[in-house]
C-alpha cells in the first residue's frame, strides 16, 4: 500500500537534501578558484594540484591506509572467531563478560576507549606509534566485524554442514568447502566496515599514536581547527569519491550475486 504521494515525496526530498546538501557544497567548492571558501570565483583544480605537493598530508594518508588495511584484517579474523563463539558454542563460563566486551565498544564513547588504551600502553611501557594505533583500531572494529559476521552465521542453513559431515568431510574440510563460501560476502563487508571505521577514526588514533605516526584524520583535524581551507575541501572530495566508488562497486556486486 502506498499512502498519499505528495507528503511522502516532499519528505523524501527534504530528508535527502538535508543529508546530501552539505556534502555536495563541500565537493562543489573544492573546485573554487578563490581561497575564500564560501564565495564562488570560477572553476579551478588548483587545490587538487597543491594537495599532491603537500608531502605531510600524503605521508599521513599512507599511514592511515596501512593502519586501516592491517587492523581490518586482524578485526575480521578476530570477529569471525568471536561470531562463531557467540552463535555456535552455546553456553560457556563468563559468556556474559564476552558478550559485553563485544557489544560495549559499539556504543561506548571513543574518548573512553582511547583514554583506556593510552593508559595500558603507558603502564606496559610500550612506545606508542604505528602498531599501537593498529591494536586500538583492531580492537573496536573487531566488535563491528563480529556483529556483521554473526548476523550472516545466524541466517545460514546448518543442514548443509551436517550433510557434508555425513558424507565424510572432516571439520576443516567442511569449514573450507561449505561454511567459508557461504560466509565470504559477510567477511568482505566486515573487512570493508572495519577498514572504513579505521580510516575515519580521529579520537582513538590521537590517544594511541606517537611521534611520526600522524594519521590522515589527525592531520585534517589539526588543519580544520585553524579554519576552512579549499585544500581540505579537495582532500575531503577525494575521500568521498573513493568511498562512493567502493559503495557503488559493492552494490553492483551484491546485485549480480542476487540475480
Partner 1 sequence: MPRGGLARGRLSALAIPYGWLALFFLAPLALVAKISLSKSIIAQPPYEPAFRASDGLAGWLEKARMFSVAAYRGLGEDPLYLESYLSSLAIAGVSTLLALLVAYPLALAIARSDPKRRSLLIALAVAPFWTSFLIRVYAWIAILKDEGFLNHALMALGLIDAPLTIYATNVAVVIGIVYSYLPFVVLPIYNSLEKQDAALREAAADLGAGPLATFWKVTLPLSAPGVIAGALLMFIPAVGEFVIPDLLGGSDTIMIGRTMWNDFFENRDWPAASAGAIVLLILLVGPIVWFERRQTKGQGAQ
What residues from 47 to 106 belong to the interface with partner 1 (CB under 8 A)? 77-79, 81-82, 84-85, 89, 91-93, 97-98, 101-102, 104-105
Query: Which of 15/49 has CB closer to partner 1?
Result: 15
Q: How far is the CB of 213 from partner 1 (least distance, A)?
A: 16
Residue window 103-142: x/- pattern of binding to partner 1, with contact defined by CB under 8 A: -xx-xxxxxxx-xxxxxx-xx-----------xx-xx--x
Residues 17-46 contacting partner 1, CB under 8 A: 18-20, 22-23, 25-26, 29, 37-38
The least CB distance from residue 20 to partner 1, in Å, is: 8
Sole binder of partner 1 in the list 2, 53, 159, 259 (CB under 8 A): 2
Interactions with partner 1, residue window 138-197 (CB under 8 A): 138-139, 142, 146, 171, 196
**Given 70, 217, 231, 234, the residue binding partner 1 (CB under 8 A):** 217
- Compute the distance between CA of residue 110 and CA of residue 204 in angstroms, rounded to an integer: 6
Interface stretch with partner 1, choices 53-61, 162-170, 177-185, 245-253 (CB under 8 A):
245-253
Measured from the CB of residue 122, what is the shortest distance to partner 1 in angstroms?
A: 5
Grid coordinates representing 50 are: 597543491
User: How far does CA 134 lie from the centroid of its chain?
Assistant: 13
Amino acid at each position: 500500500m502506498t499512502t498519499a504521494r505528495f507528503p511522502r515525496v516532499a519528505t523524501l526530498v527534504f530528508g535527502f537534501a538535508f543529508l546530501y546538501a552539505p556534502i555536495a557544497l563541500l565537493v562543489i567548492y573544492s573546485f573554487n578558484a578563490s581561497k575564500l571558501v564560501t564565495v564562488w570565483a570560477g572553476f579551478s583544480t588548483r587545490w587538487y594540484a597543491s594537495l599532491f605537493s603537500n608531502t605531510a598530508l600524503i605521508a599521513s594518508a599512507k599511514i592511515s591506509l596501512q593502519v586501516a588495511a592491517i587492523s581490518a584484517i586482524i578485526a575480521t579474523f578476530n570477529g569471525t572467531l568471536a561470531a562463531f563463539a557467540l552463535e555456535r558454542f552455546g553456553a560457556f563460563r563468563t559468556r556474559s563478560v564476552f558478550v559485553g566486551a563485544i557489544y560495549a565498544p559499539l556504543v561506548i564513547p571513543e574518548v573512553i576507549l582511547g583514554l583506556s588504551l593510552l593508559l595500558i600502553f603507558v603502564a606496559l611501557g610500550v612506545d606508542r606509534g604505528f602498531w599501537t594505533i593498529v591494536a586500538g583500531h583492531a580492537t573496536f572494529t573487531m566488535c563491528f566485524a563480529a556483529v556483521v559476521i554473526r548476523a550472516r552465521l545466524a541466517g545460514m542453513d546448518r543442514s548443509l554442514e551436517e550433510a557434508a559431515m555425513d558424507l565424510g568431510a572432516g571439520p576443516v574440510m567442511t569449514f573450507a568447502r561449505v561454511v567459508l563460501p557461504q560466509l565470504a560476502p559477510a567477511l568482505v563487508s566486515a573487512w570493508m566496515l572495519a577498514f572504513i571505521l579505521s580510516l575515519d577514526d580521529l579520537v582513538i588514533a590521537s590517544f594511541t599514536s606517537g611521534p611520526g605516526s600522524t594519521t590522515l584524520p589527525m592531520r585534517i583535524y589539526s588543519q580544520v581547527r585553524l579554519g576552512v581551507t579549499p585544500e581540505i575541501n579537495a582532500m575531503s572530495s577525494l575521500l568521498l569519491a573513493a568511498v562512493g566508488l567502493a559503495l557503488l562497486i559493492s552494490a553492483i556486486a551484491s546485485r549480480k550475486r542476487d540475480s
